[in-house]
Amino acid sequence: MGLSIEQRGTVFLVAVVCLLVGGICAPFSGHDLQRAMQIAIVSCAVLYGLTVTPLPRLVDRPTAFGLALIIGLGLVSSALAHQPLWAFTEVAVFVGCGAIATAFAVLRRNGGEPLDRVLVGVVVILCLIKSTQYLYAGALAFASGERMLDPDLLLSGFSNKRFYGQFQTFTLPLLALPLLLPHVSRSLRGAVFALLCVWWLIAISGGTRGTWLGMGVAGGVLAVLGPWGRRWLGWQLAAVLGGLLLYWLAFTALAGYLGIEVSNGASERLTTSLSGRGPIWSQAWHMLVERPWLGFGPMQFADIANSVAAHPHQAILQWASEWGVPSALCVALLAWRGGWATWSVLRQRAQAGERADLLRLCLFAALVGALVQSMVDGVIVMPNSQVWLALVVGWLLALHVGRSAPTAALPWGWAAWKAMSVLAVGLLIAIAVRDVPHITQAQQQYLGGHGNHLQPRFWAQGVIAR
């Protein structure tokens, strides 16, 4: 006898949670492991989507048409690119993220509100594990007798502290949800608040200005979304003050008492410098001007070698220079429609305190923060961030209250999407099988001949220029 739809959803959820915990919390984790984790999650999402019938309609016709147009333009741009295989791989990543979002939307639609508790529980567990790792590393550093301490060395599980910051941009808003729920016990509320303070301590010590900017804008947006939005902002501001206090106690008071000098302090990040983004923004702009209609092809920014990065650290410039301006406008329009639809629901239900409404509020804050951060950072490039962006979008789709009664999806539309998803995951697996056995050797060769740091894109060594 085959598994029921609920059992298949449980298997998918357990697999994804295990992959997320392994890809984020393993001490040896990094960009390449997280890319492999993403490919595995895409595979699970596609398999889950193939087994669920009938499928509900998750998006309206204009959105479906817009997505089809984006994929179509991406395929044409890829065929004309200098390195078509890598370009098609980037399109496959986009489709794979769509498969993840679809799977989570269907999972939540079928599983109902109990899955909201699972989502928040997973976020709490992940943040608790990472916070424990950070505090343990800090305790070892202070007890080591060394006269110099770099807070960046306390961060683990990510190839770059900015990638850690992107993960925090998604989880800081969600971690505040238990503080908003009315029936949470005082002891549990205090424990979650303490965890949120430590999570902010890590965000402050990590010095990722994109996270600070994204959370600041998200707080400003939620402040005008009614009393629950302002309560969310109040808890976040209290946790920021708690994080600042912990930072001062650890890296100023205690470090000074022990005679330890702290390098790379958070105050050193309070600048308006572009941190080397000027040259790569200029490169993306010149690419856009040279080929405005179809761009150079997905991932082809990495085909033009530079000394800074394999992506522009700016979502709009990246999409326009690689996929073309029409595709970028279509993406921006879909993002605006989706954001406006969620904003409208939040305004209509501003006084409601149901769990689903509060979760929608926190998810929207995470989405706003991530989109703002993507204007100065590689949120749409890093594998873990892509997974969380897809998860947030998918969950919001499932929670969305449409104006019209739900209707069944068009059979031919779902058939085309399933076929595209299967092809995408097949290409991603093929690329992984081809490259993974030689990743270490390729990185050593690149470092030996091109500088002293890797430039992540698909893999940690992301420059595809030959």
Burial class of residue 181 (count of CB atoms within 10 Å of its CB; 0-12, 13-18, 19+): middle
Q: Is the pLDDT of residue 407 over 60?
A: no
Mean pLDDT confidence for 367-396: 97
Confidence of residue 7 (pLDDT cuts 50, 70, 90): confident
Question: How many domains does one find in the chain?
Answer: 1
Residue 25 domain-assigned? Answer: yes
Residues constituting the chain? 466
Which carries the bigger pLDDT value, residue 182 or residue 34?
Answer: 34
Confidence of residue 453 (pLDDT cuts 50, 70, 90): confident
CA atoms within 13 A on the CB side of 432: 19
Judged by DSSP in three states, 19 sits in: helix
Helix axes 383-399, 5-25, angle to 10 degrees: 150
Confidence of residue 448 (pLDDT cuts 50, 70, 90): confident
Confidence of residue 54 (pLDDT cuts 50, 70, 90): low
Q: What is the pLDDT of residue 105?
A: 95
Q: What is the pLDDT of residue 402?
A: 61
Q: Is the pLDDT of residue 1 over 50?
A: no
Q: What is the pLDDT of residue 404?
A: 45
Residue 65 CA, distance from chain mean position:
25
Residue 360 CA, distance from chain mean position:
17
What lies within 8 Å, CB to CB, of 117 at 6+ separation is none
Judged by DSSP in three states, 242 sits in: helix
Q: 342: closest CA among 402, 384, 386, 271? A: 402
Q: What is the pLDDT of residue 451?
A: 66
Backbone φ and ψ for 50, nearest 5 degrees, come out as -70, -25
Domain that holds residue 45: 5-262+338-450
What lies within 8 Å, CB to CB, of 348 at 6+ separation is none
Residue 149 domain-assigned? Answer: yes
Q: What is the pLDDT of residue 173?
A: 98
Which carries the bigger pLDDT value, residue 219 or residue 110?
Answer: 219
Residue 84 domain-assigned? Answer: yes
Quick check: 8 and 51 in contact, CB under 8 A? yes
Residue 121 domain-assigned? Answer: yes
CA 364, 170, 140 angle in degrees (round to 5)?
155
Confidence of residue 275 (pLDDT cuts 50, 70, 90): confident
- How high is the mean pLDDT of the chain? 92
Question: SS3 helix, strand, coil % of the chain, rounded to 5?
Answer: 75, 0, 25
Confidence of residue 350 (pLDDT cuts 50, 70, 90): confident
Q: What is the pLDDT of residue 189?
A: 95
Residue 75 domain-assigned? Answer: yes
**To which residue do tokens 């409404």 refer?**
357
Residue 313 domain-assigned? Answer: no
Biggest CA–CA distance in the chain, Å, is 69
Quick check: 77 and 327 in contact, CB under 8 A? yes
Quick check: 166 and 377 in contact, CB under 8 A? yes
Quick check: 210 and 331 in contact, CB under 8 A? no
Residue 408 one-letter amino acid = A
Q: 57: closest CA among 414, 420, 390, 337? A: 414
Tokens (6 digits) for 338: 């989706």
Quick: pLDDT tens for 242-271.
Answer: 999 999 999 999 999 999 999 888 888 778
Q: b vs e for 336-356, b when ≥16 Cβ sit within 10 Å of the residue's Cβ?
A: eebbebbeebbeebeeeeebb
Q: What is the pLDDT of residue 409?
A: 55
- Is residue 312 reached through a cis peptide bond, with omega within 30 degrees of 0 on the bond before it? no
Q: Is the pLDDT of residue 121 over 50?
A: yes
Residue 466 domain-assigned? Answer: no
Mean pLDDT confidence for 190-210: 95
Q: What is the pLDDT of residue 447?
A: 87
Mean pLDDT confidence for 406-418: 72
Q: Which residues pair with 261 in a beta bridge?
A: 148
Quick check: 252 and 191 in contact, CB under 8 A? no
Burial class of residue 231 (count of CB atoms within 10 Å of its CB; 0-12, 13-18, 19+): middle
Mean pLDDT confidence for 140-158: 91
pLDDT > 70 in the chain, percent: 97
Other CB atoms within 10 Å distance of the CB of residue 414: 18
Q: What is the pLDDT of residue 154?
A: 93
Residue 134 domain-assigned? Answer: yes
Mean pLDDT confidence for 334-344: 95
Tokens (6 digits) for 141: 């550093």
Judged by DSSP in three states, 17 sits in: helix
Q: Which residues pair with 408 in a beta bridge?
A: 56
